[in-house]
Every structure is written in C-alpha cells, then in structure tokens.
C-alpha cells in the first residue's frame, strides 16, 4: 500500500480559528490523480519548527510513509518555518522540486519568487513542501496546461512515482489526463 503523510502547517487552522483547506484539497486531488490505492496519515499542526520536525520524523520513521506532502509555512514571514524544519530532518536535498514549484507559480504570481519550498529525502521517503492554497496546490502538482489540455510546464507529480520507485517504494500509477507520470522505458512495469 502506498502510504502518504499529509501535513498542514498553520497556526490558525491547528487552533480551530478556521477550517484547514490544504489536506482536503490534497486528498481530493490524489483521489482523482492516482490509479494506485493509497492511505493517508493526516496532521494539522502549528507553525512551530520543533513540532514540524517531530511530525515529519514520526511519519517517516514510525509510520513508514513513502511520500509526505506539506502545505503552508513556506514564505519569508517569521513564522514560516516549514522548509527550515524539513531541511533539518533531511538526509538529502532534491533541489529540482523547489525550482519547479517556483517556475510553475511564477506563471501566475510574481511573488512566487518569495517561496522557500523544498523537496528532500529522509531514509526512503520523499518529502515536499507545497503551497497552502488549494488552487496553487493543484497547479503545482499538475503543472500548466493549454486550453486543449496539453502540458506547457510539467507539474512536480510527474516525477514523484519514479522517484519513489528509485527509493524502493511501491510502483505508483497515475491517470494521464490529470498528470502523466514519467519513467525511463526500462523502469516501466506492465500492469496487464
């Protein structure tokens, strides 16, 4: 089973001031994009670096998640410490994820350059910091498409199944009309 940790980092959502939108939008997107069955471990936590670090370590070390997607806390504000916490518990940094997320977001807002989103690996788990808004989450995962549905800029999820495969995780398949996952020919398994 493909295990995904979903972590919404928000002082206000974690204290009940407003309802979290990050995790519900991620679950909805994953349900439409993934052919592969999956389970999620969901956490809504405050913008506290120690809490974020503990949550990520718990999801990797004890819950054995293959993928963790965080939302929120990636900007330059003092309380935005999600990337700092993610880097603190990482074994390896995957800089292409942050670069691609900012590239996608720059098509919509010039302030995307302020994002500090990162992608890292801890043990055999890929951890990616996503934006906090549902529309931005979808754009980042799927990429940018023209009016005919052709991909102009690839979303980050196109590379996630192969990355998890390289980390000895499960073989993940997606619905091509949402996001087409990419693998070299030699890494494609027949599912007939």
Predicted confidence at residue 113, as pLDDT, reads 94
> CATH no. for residue 100?
3.40.980.10
Q: How confident is the model at residue 191 (pLDDT cuts 50, 70, 90)?
A: low
pLDDT reading at 115 higher than 80: yes
Residue 40 included in any domain? yes
Q: What pLDDT, in 10s, does the model give residues 80-109?
A: 999 999 999 999 999 999 999 999 999 999
Q: What is the DSSP secondary structure assignment for residue 74, as one 8-state letter?
A: -
| Domains of the chain: total | 1
Predicted confidence at residue 11, as pLDDT, reads 82
Residue 167 included in any domain? yes
Among 114, 118, 138, 137, CA closest to 128: 118
Residue 178 included in any domain? yes
Residue 85 included in any domain? yes
Average the pLDDT over 27-50 and give the result. Answer: 97
Predicted confidence at residue 188, as pLDDT, reads 86
Average the pLDDT over 65-83 and give the result. Answer: 96
pLDDT reading at 192 higher than 60: no
* CB count in 10 Å sphere of residue 177: 9
Among 103, 96, 89, 114, CA closest to 5: 89
- pTM, 2 dp: 0.95
Higher pLDDT, 81 or 10: 81
Pairing of strands 151-154, 143-145: antiparallel
pLDDT reading at 182 higher than 90: yes
Q: How confident is the model at residue 72 (pLDDT cuts 50, 70, 90)?
A: very high
Residue 192 included in any domain? no
Residue 83 backbone class (left: φ over 0; alpha: ψ -120 to 50; beta: rest)? alpha
Residue 170 included in any domain? yes
Residue for token pair 């499960």: 170
Predicted confidence at residue 14, as pLDDT, reads 81
**Sequence-ordered list of residues with C-beta below 8 angstroms from that of 13, at least 6 positions apart, any chain:** 19, 20, 22, 44
Predicted confidence at residue 132, as pLDDT, reads 86
Q: How confident is the model at residue 50 (pLDDT cuts 50, 70, 90)?
A: very high
Residue 175 structural domain: 2-187
Residue 17 included in any domain? yes
Q: How confident is the model at residue 149 (pLDDT cuts 50, 70, 90)?
A: confident
Residue 111 included in any domain? yes
Predicted confidence at residue 19, as pLDDT, reads 87
């Amino acid at each position: 089973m493909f295990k995904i940790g979903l972590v919404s980092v928000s002082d206000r959502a974690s204290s009940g001031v407003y309802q979290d939108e990050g995790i519900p939008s991620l679950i909805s997107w994953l349900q439409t994009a993934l052919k592969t069955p999956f389970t999620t471990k969901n956490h809504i936590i405050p913008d506290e670096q120690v809490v974020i670090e503990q949550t990520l370590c718990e999801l990797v070390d004890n819950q054995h998640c293959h993928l963790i997607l965080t939302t929120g806390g990636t900007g330059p504000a003092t309380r935005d410490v999600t990337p700092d916490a993610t880097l603190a518990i990482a074994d390896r940094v995957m800089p292409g994820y942050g670069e691609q997320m900012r590239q996608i977001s720059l098509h919509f807002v010039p302030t995307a350059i302020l994002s500090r989103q990162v992608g890292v690996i801890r043990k055999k788990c890929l951890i990616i910091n996503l934006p906090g808004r549902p529309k931005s989450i979808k754009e980042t995962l799927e990429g940018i498409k023209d009016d005919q549905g052709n991909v102009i800029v690839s979303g980050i999820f196109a590379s996630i199944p192969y990355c998890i495969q390289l980390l000895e995780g499960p073989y993940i398949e997606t619905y091509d009309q949402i996001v087409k996952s990419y693998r070299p020919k030699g890494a494609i398994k027949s599912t007939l």
